[in-house]
């Protein structure tokens, strides 16, 4: 039979453990908020850059910056261990999928307001649920199907089929969501055996090298230093945002943090208002709200069901 002193000591230890865990989760939430603010800034800078920088040149610079910055920071810390991977072909495929997503994002941002674009991109977790059911034969609860349907209805509300707002450009964010969903599915599988820093390293270099193939055909002299500063801001925000996201997911589970990713919609609305004087109309706000509520509820279900989470989207 344990003594009162031993029992009291055990309770105190458990309390300290819970407090530390709570602090780590709060730190993770704070880091996620900083990361999505970086991503919203990246999207604002990207939309601004499309007015004066060839899109494929902007994509190349964004990945070249990430590749060089990641190498400069991580290689001295990790050494050659950073380069070790058990699945080089999957690393190549993952990098190519993210490059395709980024290219579609650049084109989408040229034609779409920031808030609407961000909302459509954030249906990716709902698309992953659909992919899990149709291609991975995973069991999906009826409530999840309702949330998936709600997210897609919200997307249709934003796109307004049959209305004046609908054009060929809506295919761009839809293609982005599909490529990003496959990117996340592959990420979730690689994360079981691969170091996140190694994945981040290969993502940058695969994107930079593939984008370099188009560079001779799109390179142009920029009219002023301001455009180069804007490209550097894009590269910096993309690199820092993804690194902060890695730090966040080292401190708290993805299922806990995923609902906070939808704060990016608010940051996107703020950026659209400050930089482009764009404010979503009432109908778009309804669609945006449907996507945010269904996506956050899906993340809450993940916590409740205690399933293995899928990593969040990258920009």
Give the pLDDT confidence of 33-77 residue by residue, as tens digits: 899 899 999 999 999 998 889 999 999 999 999 899 989 988 898
Tell me what pLDDT residue 312 has: 44
Q: Which of 102-106, 144-148, 263-267 has the highest mean pLDDT?
A: 102-106
Q: How far apart are CA 62 and CA 42, in angstroms?
A: 10
| pLDDT tens per residue across span 258-305 | 777 778 888 888 888 888 888 888 888 888 888 888 877 876 776 666
Please determine, for residue 8, whether its predicted confidence score (pLDDT) is greater than 50: yes
Q: Is 224 helix (H, G, I), strand (E, B) or coil?
A: coil
Question: Please, what sign has the CA dihedral across residues 203, 204, 205, 207?
Answer: positive
| 83 backbone φψ class: left, alpha, beta (φ>0; ψ -120 to 50) | alpha
| pLDDT tens per residue across span 234-256 | 989 988 888 888 788 777 776 67
Tell me what pLDDT residue 4 has: 57
Contact 87, 193 (CB under 8 A): yes
Question: Please, what sign has the CA dihedral across residues 43, 47, 52, 57?
Answer: positive
Q: Which residue has the higher pLDDT, 59 or 156?
A: 59
Please determine, for residue 165, whether its predicted confidence score (pLDDT) is greater than 60: no
Contact 173, 103 (CB under 8 A): no
Q: In the chain, what are the domain boundaries?
A: 34-305
Tell me what pLDDT residue 186 has: 82
Give 280's contacts (C-beta < 8 A, 6+ positions apart).
Answer: 113, 115, 116, 269, 272, 288
Tell me what pLDDT residue 286 has: 87
Contact 102, 42 (CB under 8 A): no
Q: Which structure tokens are listed for 257? A: 């943090």
Q: How far is CA 113 from the centre of its chain?
A: 18
Q: How far apart are CA 114 and CA 118, in angstroms?
A: 6
Contact 236, 8 (CB under 8 A): no
Tell me what pLDDT residue 97 has: 92
């Amino acid at each position: 039979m344990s003594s009162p002193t031993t029992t009291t000591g055990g309770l105190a230890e458990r309390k300290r453990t819970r407090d530390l865990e709570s602090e780590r989760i709060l730190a993770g939430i704070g880091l996620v908020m900083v990361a999505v603010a970086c991503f919203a800034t990246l999207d604002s800078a990207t939309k601004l850059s499309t007015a004066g920088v060839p899109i494929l040149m902007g994509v190349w610079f964004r990945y070249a910056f990430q590749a060089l910055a990641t190498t400069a920071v991580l290689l001295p810390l990790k050494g050659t261990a950073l380069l070790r991977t058990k699945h080089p072909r999957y690393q190549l495929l993952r990098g190519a999928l993210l490059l395709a997503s980024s290219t579609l994002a650049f084109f989408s941002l040229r034609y779409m307001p920031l808030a609407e674009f961000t909302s459509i991109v954030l249906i990716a977790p709902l698309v992953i649920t659909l992919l899990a059911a149709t291609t991975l034969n995973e069991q999906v609860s009826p409530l999840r199907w309702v949330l998936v349907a709600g997210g897609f209805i919200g997307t249709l509300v934003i796109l307004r089929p049959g209305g004046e707002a609908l054009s060929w450009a809506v295919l761009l964010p839809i293609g982005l969501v599909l490529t990003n969903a496959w990117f996340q599915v592959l990420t979730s599988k690689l994360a079981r055996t691969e170091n996140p820093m190694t994945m981040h390293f290969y993502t940058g270099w695969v994107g930079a090298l593939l984008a370099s193939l188009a560079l001779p055909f799109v390179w142009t002299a920029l009219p002023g230093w301001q455009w180069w500063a804007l490209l550097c801001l894009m590269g910096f925000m993309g690199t820092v945002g993804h690194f902060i996201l890695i730090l966040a997911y080292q401190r708290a589970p993805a299922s806990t943090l995923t609902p906070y990713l939808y704060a990016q919609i608010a940051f996107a609305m703020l950026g659209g208002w400050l930089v482009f004087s764009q404010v979503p109309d009432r109908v778009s706000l309804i669609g945006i709200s449907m996507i945010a509520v269904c996506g956050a509820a899906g993340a809450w279900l993940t916590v409740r069901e205690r399933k293995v989470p899928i990593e969040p989207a990258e920009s």
